A and B are shown apart, each in its own frame.
Chain A
């Protein structure tokens, strides 16, 4: 069962719900500040994605793992969309649209892992969580375009698209059929 876990958890990390609000190197607006961080949670999630996606069981060791799980599930969503894109510019547009789409947050009925995530306690936490998750989604989509598109052919690489059908923990952020 040893899947790959996040090593970014430090005791001072701010929590939103029971997810770690880790800093992210991003230009997008949101609660996460990205200054001075070498490798952030999104880099980690992308690095571990190809291995983690095969695991059906995942043991949460710390709050940063919950953030990692969310980003991993979102990467799967991105790949589903990128499969249909025929060029990098189209891919980036799709990623932007997907990032601002309203995905369910922990506590809402559409969220697949409500058992492991806590609902935000008050309205302010709810807003923070939504904003943070949107920031994560937008930045993940952008960074994935870097990796997935082959610079020579401008098409998505088969070495990423082969993971489209794999579901991390057998869960998915969107409903089946999308």
Chain B
């Protein structure tokens, strides 16, 4: 059904346009579904519709918001009957991380927050750590070596001081070896991989390690986002924190986020209980971070899932309507998918 994702950009010079976050094109039975970043303008959607119908001659088009698709992708990790389009999507790619709250399929645009820490920053930080310590890496290859190490060996630890102690007391178990090939001389080089294994991804939780201007931990940002949302939607948001994007693939990322958020939420409830003199006993906050196998391509996977439902054909805009009415039909794309 759904075929491999093709990256389509949008650029202001006519046929090809570039969007700020990547858009994926899913071809499902010849009916494409396009995705868009949140807060996309209706005019952009019209341009997209024009390109799709005029240049590519597609039979039908549906433009979906990436965060909603990421939520749909998270349905793979739970039983049917609990499907919901309310949750907060933590989308972390190479350039920037977003925290996007979604209620009933609609993005709460005013509460979206961006965190300037993402995959690129982690790679750069690891590169610096390696440079300070290892001598064997050819300088032109240091960034790609850092990237390979990040993808293969990095994980998130619960506490950095204890982790340092573990590495110092039992180096044979924790310090790994990495072998690369010098692209010019074709000789192999070996380096040790140590503290960067857990220090790299730690910058999500301590951004000051790598960014002098930004200090807020990702768990605090997520908590702030949820607290800024309408009060009736906060508990459902805490219960459904969905990860998407390549930089959320670190082992135990979900566990650490869940632990930090639970602590913050519990402390807040405890404080309100104290301030009320014990009269108010709030129900404990259920915090759940959802991880699943398709996290890396969650947006694409969600899109392909929704596009394979029978409802998709009903909400899709057809070429016939486009020919009759024009691109303005694509300004609005109805939310669907919870019925099943």
- A interface residue numbers (CB < 8 A to B): 1, 4, 47-48, 50-51, 54-57, 158-159, 161-166
Binary contact readout B159-189 vs A (1 if CB under 8 angstroms, 0 otherwise): 0110011011001000000000000000000
CA distance A48 to B168 in the complex (A): 13
By the criterion CB–CB under 8 Å, are B165 and A1 in contact?
A: no
Do A161 and B215 touch (CB < 8 A)?
A: no
- The answer on a CB contact under 8 Å between B215 and A57 is yes
* Secondary structure dominating the interface of A: loop
- Residue B129 CB within 8 A of the other chain: yes
Contact A161 B208 (CB under 8 A): no
Q: Could you tell me the distance between the alpha carbons of A55 and B208 in the complex, rounded to whole angstroms?
A: 7
Knowing A50-B195, A159-B168, A159-B194, the reply to whether A165 touches B161 (Cβ < 8 A) is: no
Q: Are B206 and A4 in contact (CB under 8 A)?
A: no
- In the complex, chain A residues whose CB is within 8 Å of the CB of B134: 158
A54 to B165, CA, bound (A): 16
Kindly identify which residue among A50, A164, A166 contacts B164, using a CB–CB cutoff of 8 Å. A50
| B215 A162 Cβ-Cβ under 8 A | no
Residues in A neighbouring B171, C-beta threshold 8 A: 159
Interface range, B side: 10 to 19
Tell me if B161 and A1 are in contact (CB < 8 A). no
Q: Mark B96-136, 1 if CB is under 8 A from A, else 0.
A: 00000000000000000000000000000000010011100
- A161 / chain B contacts, CB cutoff of 8 Å: 133
Q: Distance (Å) between the CB of B117 and the closest chain A CB? A: 14
- Residue on B nearest A56 in the bound complex, by CB: B208
Which chain B residues lie closer than 8 Å to A163 at the CB level?
Answer: 132
Give chain B's interface residues, CB within 8 Å of chain A: 129, 132-134, 160-161, 164-165, 167-168, 171, 194-195, 199, 206, 208-209, 212, 215
| A162 and B132 in contact, given A1-B208, A50-B195, A55-B208 (Cβ under 8 angstroms) | yes
Interface of B is mostly: helix
B161 engages A51 (CB within 8 Å): yes
7 smallest beta-carbon distances between A and B, as pairs: A162-B133, A50-B164, A162-B132, A51-B161, A51-B160, A54-B209, A56-B208
CA–CA, A86 and B132, complex, Å: 19
B211 shortest CB reach to chain A, Å: 10
Chain B residues with CB below 8 A from A165, complex form: 132
Q: Nearest Cβ distance between residue B131 and chain A, in whole angstroms?
A: 9
B215 engages A1 (CB within 8 Å): yes
Please give 17 more A-B residue pairs, beta carbons under 8 A apart, in addition to A57-B208, A159-B168: A1-B215, A47-B161, A47-B165, A50-B161, A50-B164, A51-B161, A54-B199, A54-B206, A55-B206, A55-B208, A56-B212, A57-B215, A159-B171, A161-B133, A162-B129, A162-B195, A164-B132
Kindly list chain B residues whose C-beta atoms are within 8 Å of the C-beta of A4. 161
Report whether B161 and A48 are in contact in the complex, using a CB–CB cutoff of 8 Å: yes
Determine the chain A residues whose CB is within 8 A of the CB of B167 once the complex forms.
159
B133 touches A158 (CB 8 A): yes
CB distance from A59 to the nearest CB of B (A): 11
A sample of 8 cross-chain residue pairs with beta-carbon separation below 8 angstroms, ordered by A number, consists of: A1-B215, A4-B161, A48-B161, A50-B164, A50-B195, A54-B208, A163-B132, A165-B132
A22 to chain B, nearest CB (A): 19
**A166 surroundings in chain B (CB, below 8 A):** 132
A98 to B168 alpha-carbon distance, docked (Å): 26
A48-B161 Cα distance, complex, nearest whole Å: 6
Residue of B nearest to A166 (CB): B132
**In the complex, chain A residues whose CB is within 8 Å of the CB of B194:** 159
- Bound state CA distance, A66 and B129, in angstroms? 28
B129 engages A51 (CB within 8 Å): no
Residues of chain B with a CB closer than 8 A to A159's CB:
133, 167-168, 171, 194-195
Name which of B133, B171, B194 has the most chain A CB atoms within 10 A of its CB.
B133
Q: Taking each of B134, B161, B167, which has the highest tally of chain A beta carbons within 10 Å of its own beta carbon? A: B161
On whether A51 and B164 interact (CB within 8 A), knowing A159-B194, A161-B133, the answer reads yes
Chain B residues, Cβ within 8 Å of A57: 208, 215
Q: Closest CB-CB distance, B134 to chain A, in whole Å?
A: 8
Determine the chain A residues whose CB is within 8 A of the CB of B133 once the complex forms: 158-159, 161-162
Kindly report which residue of chain B lies nearest to residue A49, judged by CB atoms: B164
The complex places the Cα of A56 from the Cα of B208 at a distance, in Å, of 7
Q: Report the minimal beta-carbon distance from B130 to chain A, rounded to whole angstroms.
A: 9
